[in-house]
Structure 1
Amino acid sequence: MAGPKVVCLMGATGTGKTGAALALAEAFGGAVVNVDSRQVYMGLAVLTAQPTPEERARCPHFLYGDTPLDRAVSAGAYARRARCVVASILERGMLPLLVGGTGLYFRAIRGGLAPIPAVPAEVRNEIVRDYDRLGPAAMHAKLSAIDPDAAARIAPADRQRLTRALEVAAATGRTLTSWHAQGDPEAPDYDVLALGLHLPLETLAPRLARRIEAMAAGGAVEEVRRALARHPADAPGLSGIGGPELAAHLAGQTSLGAAKAAWLANTRAYAKRQMTWFRKEPDVRWFAPDDTEGLLAAVAAWRNGEAA
């Protein structure tokens, strides 16, 4: 017997997932659940491209901007929250729409990650001290030596995820990749329709450039300025792309133009990693960002029990 129906709408940053999600939600009585590791953080709505208040008013939205900047969020912790939200949406007779670009979060909520034992504080603190002492490049090289698969998907500057992968290996004697491959036997048995939005990287890159210009002009710089007044620059919520680049500018280390250039380069590299990840995910049906008609038809057929 098939489990509860859940739509997963995934794709690289800047591919138009928000607009597509709203169209699906309005057509099928859906509620949107965030599946983006940056959009969980509060106070950075512009920097992380969270849905606007006007967009959120069109249907229920969950797990956006509700996490303090100083709190790290693991994939497992996210999955536990998301599953509770999905259950509440189903109880209301609505269609859960899981929307975002963090592939690991999608895998976690669908049961692809084993529960990882808690890491002792002394191990975590030692890894953090090593990161501060040795720097991101050396720590990334260390991760590459013990867990090359994790290193391939984690950027050297992503302090939170880099130290997480190293601390798990140090504390458990197993790599993060090994834990992820094991799976979670207690995960819900959802009936999932996986939809993906895709653009060639050469087409996506100019869109990303325009979006970064709009973010910088639309309040992202001030968001980071306010966040830095309350938190250190290496707070988990500020570690995502755009945060370190703007923090360097605000510290007088670089011009705004140079910060935006680095922000774009890092976003483009991240989009490429996202594309690589999602290409490996099974049973994803891919659509162009403007193919709303195709997305609606796919969901309608799936809800009616028709073959894809």
Structure 2
Amino acid sequence: MSDSRPLAVFLMGPTAAGKTDAAIALYERLGCELISVDSAMVYRGMDIGSAKPSALELKRAPHRLIDIRDPANPYSAADFRQDALCEMRQISQSGKVPLLVGGTMLYFKQLVDGVANLPAASPEIRTQLDKRWREEGLLALHRTLAEVDPEAGKRIHPNDPQRTLRALEVYYASGRPMSELWAEQEASTFPWRVVSIALAPENRGVLHQRIAQRFALMLEEGLIDEVAALKQRDDLHLGLPAMKSVGYRQVWEYLDGEIDHTALLERGVIATRQLAKRQLTWLRRWKELHWVDSQHTHALDNVLKLVRESGA
């Protein structure tokens, strides 16, 4: 039975893998419309550290969901889902294929899986549960969870306080097991037929080298001045999601005098490598994913072939 849903392309991959260049080529050669999937590029004034496409690149190939939020106003995965679905509908209705490109894997997952219809946090119930945790211990709470919601009890580790407490909170607030709400969410069908492509070098040493070179280049291009300008604002601080972004936090600490320039370079590279490792972990769990070696001579041709074969 053929799938009549409109096509969408997900171009994913770790940081510094060359996703932007590939996305621009897909825009120019196949007419795909681009949507950025990046938790830092959404913020205005965060250009160098987020590796945002240049003004010239954006003129060549416009990206939606870039520069849509002030860094003082946090942008969540739920916000992204709402905005991305709106953009995808517009693109599909115009007869084009939405191509979502980026490395914020939580955004991709939230987009496809949706948001479970969970009750809001209840301070009263959480206070009661915290009291029980202190008095009875976490294992006792997990045993209660296993009684009222056996499926959640199996999926949540007995030593995971955050998820155990949240599952009990959901049960007491809604009167329904969290596993039922999970099942309802998983049963819903994403409105697009998706071809998912991961662009990444097979040799991780190459990726590490690219990361080190790119962070050093960011510093040369003015990342410190960019963060200094943000730091002058009274409404920005390290507690905000935007300022916690890789590179920005390290430069902020440098400007505060907590680390010297050598440590800045070292910590920036380490933080970016850790980000890439987390992204690759997410990707290995992604279903029906097509891997393309970004270092292969015909990497771009291989990406184009996958998209064409999918019906774009």
TM range (shorter): 0.7 to 0.9
**Equivalent AA in structure 2 for residue 209 of structure 1:** A
Q: Hey, which bits of structure 1, 4+ residues long, moved more than 6 A? A: 120-124, 165-171, 177-182
Check 1:48–1:28 CA distance in 2 against 1; reply closer, same or farther (3 A cut).
Answer: same
Structure 2 gap ranges (5+): 127-156, 173-177
Please say if 1:239 is aligned against 2:247.
no
**What secondary structure does 2:273 align onto?**
helix
Task: After superposing the two structures, state which structure 1 stretch, 69-78 or 208-217, moved more.
Answer: 69-78
1:146 maps to what in 2? Answer: 160
Please say if 1:69 is aligned against 2:71.
yes
Q: 1:200-239 maps to which residues of 2 (within 5 A)? A: 200-230=203-233, 231-239=236-244
Is the CA contact (8 Å cut-off) linking 1:25 and 1:32 kept in structure 2? yes
Relative to the length of structure 1, the TM-score reads 0.78
Distance in 2 between residues matched to 1:74 and 1:188, nearest whole Å: 20
Please say if 1:53 is aligned against 2:48.
no
1:296 maps to what in 2? Answer: 304
**CA displacement, residues 114-162 of structure 1 (integer Å, 9 cap, x when unaligned):** 24544469999xxxxxxxxxxxxxxxxxx994269xxxxxxxxxxxxxx
Distance in 2 between residues matched to 1:24 and 1:6, nearest whole Å: 13
Check 1:185–1:64 CA distance in 2 against 1; reply closer, same or farther (3 A cut).
Answer: farther
Q: How far off its partner does 1:77 sit?
A: 1.9
2:110 maps to what in 1? Answer: 108
Q: How far off its partner does 1:298 sit?
A: 1.1
**What secondary structure does 2:101 align onto?**
strand
Counterpart pick for 1:98 among 97, 100, 103:
100
Check 1:117–1:218 CA distance in 2 against 1; reply closer, same or farther (3 A cut).
Answer: farther
**CA displacement, residues 259-280 of structure 1 (integer Å, 9 cap, x when unaligned):** 1210111111111111111011
Q: 1:244-255 maps to which residues of 2 (within 5 A)? A: 244-255=249-260
* CA radius of gyration, larger in: 2
**Equivalent AA in structure 2 for residue 3 of structure 1:** R
Please say if 1:198 is aligned against 2:203.
no
**Equivalent AA in structure 2 for residue 259 of structure 1:** L
Task: After superposing the two structures, state which structure 1 stretch, 111-120 or 69-78, moved more.
Answer: 111-120
Q: How far off its partner does 1:168 sit?
A: 6.2
Is the CA contact (8 Å cut-off) linking 1:119 and 1:167 kept in structure 2? no
**Equivalent AA in structure 2 for residue 253 of structure 1:** E
**CA displacement, residues 172-203 of structure 1 (integer Å, 9 cap, x when unaligned):** 479xx978786366664211010111223211
Equivalences, count: 268
Counterpart pick for 1:18 among 13, 20, 23:
20
**Equivalent AA in structure 1 for residue 78 of structure 2:** G
Distance in 2 between residues matched to 1:284 and 1:107, nearest whole Å: 13
Percent identity over the alignment is 30
**Equivalent AA in structure 1 for residue 82 of structure 2:** R
Is the CA contact (8 Å cut-off) linking 1:111 and 1:188 kept in structure 2? yes
Is the CA contact (8 Å cut-off) linking 1:76 and 1:115 kept in structure 2? no
Is the CA contact (8 Å cut-off) linking 2:158 and 2:164 kept in structure 1? no
Distance in 1 between residues matched to 2:125 and 2:61, nearest whole Å: 43
